[in-house]
Amino acid sequence: MMREEPASEPPVGLGKRIMSRVRAHRPSPWKVIGEALLRPREVSFHPLSALRSPVSGQECSFYFIMVGVFYAVLGVILMVGLHKLGASLVTPGWVRWQPQIALVTAGCMVAIGLYLLKDGKVALRMARVGALVYLGFSLINGIFVSLEWALPVSAFVSLLSALIGLPTGFFLIRTIQNCGKRYA
């Protein structure tokens, strides 16, 4: 009997009444933005907790990609800065290669970060080797810059380079050690 019954039509203006009620209860854009910014998150990246607690492959990947982004920005800034400086000052060979070194480091770190998304043992092994190479190269790079460039500022620049590279390398190594661990 129900199948044979004709379909009833909604009352005239039902859609308009519903939409007017929806618009009346819509929160302001400021409230939506405030709630989005202040709402607690279930997934977040905490660099200090990565030093002592287990991290996922995605979080470890995020750290490598962020180091890569940092070095990409640094490489572009060095390219522009050394180009402007090159007109008035002749830079030694190793110093002249710093933008390219930063861009290659950026590419390697992003590649390792993307490979870590596979979350496998081979990816972790490659990331461990990459972090050790990064750590060693940042130390060597800091030493060679100060030895090759005879400006008083070069010692400060190489110290700053080592102070950025060494803790970052140790952080990446420690993050890899904690990647995938399960604590009771």
Each residue's pLDDT tens digit in the chain (184 positions)? 888 888 888 888 988 988 888 888 777 778 878 777 777 655 555 666 656 677 777 888 888 899 999 989 988 887 887 666 654 455 556 667 777 888 898 999 999 988 888 767 888 888 889 889 988 888 887 777 666 666 666 666 666 777 778 888 888 888 888 776 654 3
**Domain contains 1:** no
Rounded to the nearest 5°, which phi and psi values hold at 46?
-120, 105
In a domain, 101, yes or no: yes
Residue 133 belongs to a domain: yes
C-alpha to C-alpha distance for 133 and 176, rounded to whole angstroms: 14
3-state secondary structure of 46: coil
On whether residue 11 sits in a domain, the answer given is no
Task: Please give the C-alpha separations between residue 11 and each of 4, 16, 181, in angstroms, as whole numbers.
Answer: 21, 11, 61
- Domain count of the chain? 1
Residue 25 lies in a domain: no
Residue 81 belongs to a domain = yes
What is the model's pLDDT at position 148? Answer: 67
SS3 (DSSP) at 179: strand
- The first and second tokens of residue 32, run together, are 């939506």
Specify the pLDDT at position 164.
79
Residue 54 resides in a domain: yes
Closest by Cα among 161, 139, 157 to 149? 157
Which domain covers residue 152, as residue numbers? 47-178
Task: Tell me the C-alpha to C-alpha distance, in Å, between residue 162 and each of 7, 115, 144, 159.
Answer: 77, 26, 11, 5
Q: 135, 170 in Cβ contact below 8 A?
A: yes
Instruction: Determine, yes or no, domain membership for 113.
Output: yes
